[in-house]
Structure 1
Amino acid sequence: MTRTIEELIPEYIRGLPAYVPGRPIEEVERELKIRAIKLASNENPLGPSPLAVEAAKKALAESHRYPDGGAKRLRETLAKRHGVSPEEIFIALGSSEVIDLASRCVLRPGLEGITSEGSYAPFSLAIRASGARLRLTPLRNYTFDLEAIGKEVTAETRIIYLANPNNPTGTAFSHAELEEFLGNVRDDVLVVLDEAYIHYAERADMPRSVELYRRHKNLLILRTFSKVYGLAGQRVGYAIGQEGYTRAFNQLKTPFNTSNVGQAAALAALDDAEHVRRSIENNQRERRRLVEGLKSLGLRPAPSETNFVFVETGPETPETCDALMRAGVIVRPLGWMGLPEAMRVTVGVPAENGRFLAALEMALSTRTDRKELAGR
């Protein structure tokens, strides 16, 4: 009996939703014939480090050569910065690659993975793509509820995904909370801690993750060059983890998973402390401005430790996001992440944030639920 191509694919893969990227700015400008700004994908509005750009240009001239498949120089540099061995560093095609590889390493049908509702979608996808059972816990005050996650752990649990700060809500839990959580999790459960936005956090009690890693060998820390370093287009991330895990990742990854251009840009970006400083300062200043502007419109944005702001704008949020896009302002509606009444807005430069707030005020003024929105 002939089987269709779809029938040859396991059911647990056929049922997976595809990741939904933000709309490219070029596509919106072509469609609407306007000059647009993109505040949807949490990119660094100051762009990449000038040092990284120059390093990338030089590396591009050697693009006829395969890159260093082990990213030796980048691993050694990061290992020195974090006080670990190079063998504890895995260089990845963005931190998203490690999210996938971690589940592939420890999960199989019959086992379980845990993460939270209202968090980064690839966590759930990685668990389900491994054929394992996905367990989800609700957010508490827009933040990972570590106590609730701990109660969901069973004998079949092998992996837990945490994002701190969380995407898309921007909130964070503390060092003490994570320390207590790790103390209550079995050693055979891998805890994946995604710290993509860690450089933007201002609260004083953020987890000192590498310190905790030295005491908890089942902790895997993820970082990326896509955010504060401004290299989202180069797709370079890394993990800090026990050599057993990093060795397994190297066995599973595709050959030459990061380019010579990406590696060179990442190395140069690490040396550009001034660019990082300016990026963080702009974010702190403009994030406060966005929060105050949203509050002045009667909204209640969630507290943010990131380079974006999460805000609920009621049942008409999809229509409001459409109105913003027609005004040339691209933000991220979050219905596809199970948050249909919320949007996420990247912190831009002053002119971009001013344009967003003006466009949002106009969009809200036409809504039928304006009075109800102010009372939320």
Structure 2
Amino acid sequence: MKWKKQLLNLKPYQPGKSIEEVKKQYGLSDIVKLASNENPFGSSNRVVEELRSRTSRHSVYPDGYAANLRAKLAGHLSVKPEQIIFGNGSDEIIQMIARGLLSPYTNSVMAAPTFPQYKHNSVIEGSEAREVPLKDGAHDLEGMLAAIDGNTAVVWLCSPNNPTGIYINNEDLISFLSRVPDDVLVVLDEAYYEYVEADDFHESTDLLQKYKNLIILRTFSKIYGLASFRVGYGIAHEETIAALEPVREPFNVNSLAQAAAAAALGDQEFIQWCKQENRAGLEQFYQFCDEYGLDYYPSQGNFILIDFAADGQEVFQFLLERGYIVRSGKALGFPACVRITIGTREQNAGIIEKIKEYLQVSAAIS
């Protein structure tokens, strides 16, 4: 078969190890997964109540327009319903954008390291992926502007950035947007938006009227605790959404996912509580790292990237064998680091104790 040549050396996304896989491999009865930036507190009780109450037939297609969820989300965001597009996770919207705008005759600009699906989908479309190295874990916006040329179709921003957790402040974002050509789409991926506490973080929806080449991506997979339902969304000017809609697969967000997201959206008290717990969890790690002299990136997400000045895969394996699944920095572009999702206070304390054990063993060997 005549596959696209760019697919021949392209590796599929590698998910983290599953709990059952680790239990079986290492004979462990209790596993804590802190690898995928999921909400350790799950989702709102309103989601459970909503799903229990649903009696609709599963033989009927979902609402392709997601009218109920769309109306509730538009009200929550103070935007028009026509400014929203839904995806099977925000990953699908990244795919839509790449399919709609990228080709072998275009390029897209992104930070490096950042969320890998930007480059992945660019490569699939045969488009040049121009990667601009991070500076101290943050986007080099000036470098990204310099990388834009007449063939640039998309610029990808991730704020807070995954895997570093560093955000783009409001002043820098506006300065950047004001200098990007009007015919270049700026994708602002805010998957961790609800976790951010920085006073100078951008309120990007306020910028949509002025910058019609901006699209914001958010998700129900993180703080809303609905990762298994796969509901993401984009917010942009009506013309941008209208242009993207033909790329969207029909019925791409299933009925249960729509109902779960609508119920989750209605419990902002739960969201605020999760945000507070996440901040307390980050402080646990900050205090530990400061005490033991470990470098880390101060995060505005629900994860922390810690530099062990050692082989990140070795740290990953040590923790794995002791019942903690984390993300090795080797796969994230930070080979001496490990990314850890912020868990409950008890989970954080538990993994910190295991990291102390690693440091003791490592020191004894050296």
Normalising by structure 2, what TM-score? 0.96
User: Partner of 1:128: helix, strand, or coil?
Assistant: helix
1:296 aligned to which of 291, 302, 306: 291
Q: CA deviation at 1:65?
A: 1.8
The question of whether the paired residues in 2 share the 8 Å contact of 1:295 and 1:301 is answered with: no
Q: Does 1:336 align with 2:331?
A: yes
Which one is further off, 360-369 or 219-228? Answer: 360-369
Query: Which residues of 2 match residues 55-66 of structure 1 at below 5 A?
Result: 55-59=50-54, 61-66=56-61
Q: CA deviation at 1:82?
A: 2.1
2:92 aligned to which of 67, 77, 97: 97
* Matched residue, 2:356: 361
Give deviations 1:292-321, integer Å, cap 9, x for gaps.
112222201111001110111123221111
The question of whether the paired residues in 2 share the 8 Å contact of 1:320 and 1:364 is answered with: no
Query: Which residues of 2 match residues 85-124 of structure 1 at below 5 A?
Result: 85-124=80-119
Structure 2: distance between partners of 1:231 and 1:62: 22
Give deviations 1:102-153, integer Å, cap 9, x for gaps.
1111111121001011100001111111111110001011011111100110
* Matched residue, 1:31: 25
* Matched residue, 2:223: 228
Aligned Cα root-mean-square deviation (Å): 1.5
Amino acid across the alignment from 2:257: G
User: Partner of 2:197: helix, strand, or coil?
Assistant: coil
* Matched residue, 1:268: 263
Q: Does 1:134 align with 2:129?
A: yes
* Matched residue, 2:206: 211
Question: CA separation of 1:159/1:31 partners in 2, compared to 1, >3 Å: closer, same or farther?
Answer: same
User: Which runs of 5 or more residues in structure 1 are unaligned?
Assistant: 372-376
User: Partner of 2:338: helix, strand, or coil?
Assistant: strand
Give deviations 1:172-191, integer Å, cap 9, x for gaps.
11000000000000000000
User: Partner of 1:196: helix, strand, or coil?
Assistant: coil
User: Which runs of 5 or more residues in structure 2 are unaligned?
Assistant: none
Structure 2: distance between partners of 1:60 and 1:347: 36
The question of whether the paired residues in 1 share the 8 Å contact of 2:208 and 2:237 is answered with: no
Normalising by structure 1, what TM-score? 0.94
The question of whether the paired residues in 1 share the 8 Å contact of 2:315 and 2:338 is answered with: no
* Matched residue, 2:342: 347
Structure 2: distance between partners of 1:121 and 1:173: 18
Question: CA separation of 1:297/1:260 partners in 2, compared to 1, >3 Å: closer, same or farther?
Answer: same
The question of whether the paired residues in 2 share the 8 Å contact of 1:161 and 1:192 is answered with: yes
* Matched residue, 1:72: 67
Structure 2: distance between partners of 1:370 and 1:110: 53
Q: Percent identity?
A: 35
Amino acid across the alignment from 1:268: A
Structure 2: distance between partners of 1:337 and 1:360: 20
Query: Which residues of 2 match residues 232-243 of structure 1 at below 5 A?
Result: 232-243=227-238
Give deviations 1:57-103, integer Å, cap 9, x for gaps.
33365323211011011112212222222111001111111111111
Structure 1: distance between partners of 2:246 and 2:8: 26
* Matched residue, 1:17: 11
Structure 2: distance between partners of 1:215 and 1:275: 33
Question: CA separation of 1:60/1:177 partners in 2, compared to 1, >3 Å: closer, same or farther?
Answer: farther
Amino acid across the alignment from 1:15: N
User: Partner of 2:54: helix, strand, or coil?
Assistant: helix
* Matched residue, 1:319: 314
Give deviations 1:39-72, integer Å, cap 9, x for gaps.
1000111111110122123336532321101101
Structure 2: distance between partners of 1:56 and 1:163: 32
Amino acid across the alignment from 1:22: G
Give deviations 1:235-285, integer Å, cap 9, x for gaps.
001000123332333212222111111000100111112211211111011
Give deviations 1:173-219, integer Å, cap 9, x for gaps.
10000000000000000000000101111110001101111210000
Amino acid across the alignment from 2:203: R
* Matched residue, 1:247: 242
Give deviations 1:319-373, integer Å, cap 9, x for gaps.
11101000001110021222211111000001110110001111122226987xx
* Matched residue, 1:374: none
Structure 2: distance between partners of 1:15 and 1:91: 30
Amino acid across the alignment from 1:84: V
* Matched residue, 1:149: 144
Question: CA separation of 1:370/1:44 partners in 2, compared to 1, >3 Å: closer, same or farther?
Answer: farther
The question of whether the paired residues in 2 share the 8 Å contact of 1:59 and 1:260 is answered with: no
User: Partner of 1:158: helix, strand, or coil?
Assistant: strand
User: Partner of 2:249: helix, strand, or coil?
Assistant: coil
Question: CA separation of 1:370/1:50 partners in 2, compared to 1, >3 Å: closer, same or farther?
Answer: farther
The question of whether the paired residues in 1 share the 8 Å contact of 2:311 and 2:337 is answered with: no
Amino acid across the alignment from 2:89: G
Which one is further off, 339-348 or 72-81? Answer: 72-81
